[in-house]
Amino acid sequence: MRVLITGGAGFIGSHLADAYIARGDEVFCIDDLSTGSIENIAHLKEHPRFHYAIDTVQNQPVTAELVDVCDVVFHLAAAVGVKLIVESPVRTIETNVHCTEVILALANKKKKKVLIASTSEVYGLSEQVPFREDGNLVMGATTKGRWSYACSKAIDEFLALAYWREKKLPTIVVRLFNTVGPRQTGQYGMVIPTFVKQALAGRPITVYGDGKQTRCFGYVGDVVGALVRLMAHTDATGQVFNIGSNEEITILEVAERVKELTRSASEVIFVPYDEAYEEGFEDMPRRVPDITKISQLVGFKPEMKLDGILEKVIEYYSGR
C-alpha cells in the first residue's frame, strides 16, 4: 500500500511512517517543518520505500501529485500546542481549516480514503466526563483566543463528515488525547517533554495553574497502532473515534513522578495561567476519553502505562 502522511516529519507522523515502513508499505510524507523536525525522519531518509517533500499542504500542485500516487491519506498536519495557539491564533485557524479543505478536495477527485486527526480540545468546557464521541462540544467565548484551536478542529471534523455524507468520500475522524512519547517537543507547551527537560537540567519544574487539572496520556506506539487498524477497517468510515489512555492523573502528580524518575533535585513551582499564556486563560479541568467505541471496533487497548511512557521520554532526552 502507498500511504501519504501530511505532517509526516512531526512527532506522531514520523512514528506512523515507521509503522507502515515496518509493515512493508511505501510511505510519502509532506511537512513544512513549522512544528515538525527533519530529525524525526532522518533515520528514514535513505529508505527506498520512504519519500518526503519539505513543503506546505497548501501548495496544491505538490499535494495533488502526492494524493494521486497514494492509496490512503493521513492528515496530521496542523498548528498544535497551547502556546502556539495563544501566540499565533491567525496561523492556527488558517493552517488547520485551509489545509483540511485542500486535502479533502484533492482526495475527493479520486475518492482516496482520508483519516483526519482532530483533538480532545473540541470537547471544550464540557463536564460530561468521560467524553463520548456523541457528547456535546462546549466552546468558550470567541474573545478567548485559546478556543480558536478547538473551533478550527471542530470545523475540520464537520467538513470531513460532510464530504462522506454528501460526496461519499471515505473519511474517518480521530480525537487524540494527549499523545506522548519520544520525539515530542516541549516547544509549544507539551507538558511531559517540558517537565522532563526541566528535571534533567535541574531547572524548576513549572506547573501551570494549581496543578489539579487532570489529563490522560496515551503512548504514541499505542495510538499509531490504533490509527493503522482504523484505516484498514471498512466500518470506521464516516465515524469519529476517541484515541488515548483512560489512566487519569493530575498535572502536579505528573511533575512529581517526573522528578522522582529522573532523580532530579528540581523544585516544583506553580505559574499562574495569566502569566503562562494570557490574561483570562481558561483550561479544561479534566480530559478523559471514553474509548469504548474504538475498543469495540478494532480491539484498541492502551498497553503502555504512564511510568513506562515517562521512562521512554526520559531515556530519549537523556540521550540528547
Catalytic residue among 20, 52, 123, 149: 149
Query: What pLDDT score does 185 carry?
Result: 86
Q: Quick check: 84 pLDDT over 80?
A: no
**Dihedral of CA 299/230/288/131: which sign?**
negative
Q: Quick check: 146 pLDDT over 90?
A: no
**What's the average model confidence in pLDDT over 171-190?**
91
Which pTM does this prediction carry? 0.96
The 10s digit of each residue's pLDDT in 186-203 is 776 689 999 999 999 999
Q: Is 208 a catalytic residue?
A: no
Distance CA 14, CA 11 (A): 6
The 10s digit of each residue's pLDDT in 250-275 is 999 999 999 999 999 999 999 998 88
Q: Quick check: 45 pLDDT over 90?
A: yes
Distance CA 145, CA 168 (A): 34
User: In this structure, which amino acid lies at residue 250?
Assistant: T
Mean pLDDT is lowest, of 179-183, 279-283, 300-304, for 279-283
The 10s digit of each residue's pLDDT in 305-315 is 999 999 999 99
Number of alpha carbons in the 13 Å side-chain half-sphere of residue 149: 22
Cβ atoms of 242 and 202 within 8 Å: the answer is no
More confident residue, 87 or 113: 113
